[in-house]
Amino acid sequence: MTHSLRPTTPSQRWTAIAAIAGLTTLLAACAAPSAPASGDGPARPAGGHGNSAFIGGYDANQDGQVTRAEYDAVRKQRFTAADTNGDGWLSEAEYVAEFEGRLKQQYADQKKPHDDAYASSIKQAHVRFGILDKNKDGRLSVDEELAIAERTFKGADTNGDGVVNAADAKKP
Note the residues at the interface with Ca ion (CB under 5 A).
59, 61, 63, 70, 83, 85, 87, 89, 94, 157, 159, 161, 168
Q: How far is CA 154 from CA 123, 135, 146, 149, 163, in A?
A: 26, 22, 12, 8, 9
Minimum Å gap between C-beta 142 and Ca ion is: 11
Minimum Å gap between C-beta 22 and Ca ion is: 22
Q: Which is nearer to Ca ion, 59 or 107 (CB)?
A: 59
Minimum Å gap between C-beta 163 and Ca ion is: 5
AA identity, residue 161? D
Minimum Å gap between C-beta 119 and Ca ion is: 25
Q: Which is nearer to Ca ion, 59 or 145 (CB)?
A: 59
CA separation for the pair 170, 156 (Å, rounded): 9
Is the CB of residue 105 less than 8 Å from the CB of residue 46? yes
Q: Which is nearer to Ca ion, 124 or 159 (CB)?
A: 159
Q: Which is nearer to Ca ion, 118 or 157 (CB)?
A: 157
CA separation for the pair 155, 172 (Å, rounded): 17
